[in-house]
Amino acid sequence: MNANFLTDEDLVDLTGYKLAGKQAEVLSRHKIHYVQRRDGKLRVTWDQVNQPGAKPANDESGFNPDFLNG
């Protein structure tokens, strides 16, 4: 796993919860962007933790979600 991502243990320490749904609630409340994987686990970068509310960078496909907003 990339060192820039929080480990599952880091995410539990950060949120205080093991369940992804509860983790998502805490992260959303603190404006920390996350991605939910197919297996239900959340993925968060340290950049998002250290700069909550910051726009996530474009993904590797080059898709820019801001394009949809005009």
| Token pair recorded at residue 63 | 């898709």
Tens of pLDDT along 2-30?
569 999 999 999 999 999 999 999 999 99
> Residue 66 above 60 pLDDT?
no
| Count of structural domains within the chain | 1
Residue 62 is assigned to a structural domain of this protein = no
Span 46-51, average pLDDT:
90
Residue 22 is assigned to a structural domain of this protein = yes
pLDDT for the residue numbered 54: 75
Q: What is the 3-state secondary structure (H, E, C) of the chain?
A: CCCCECCHHHHHHHHCCCCHHHHHHHHHHCCCCCEECCCCCEECEHHHHHCCCCCCCCCCCCCCHHHHHC
pLDDT for the residue numbered 58: 56
Residue 19 is assigned to a structural domain of this protein = yes
Q: Does 67 or 6 have the greater pLDDT score? A: 6
Average pLDDT, the chain: 83
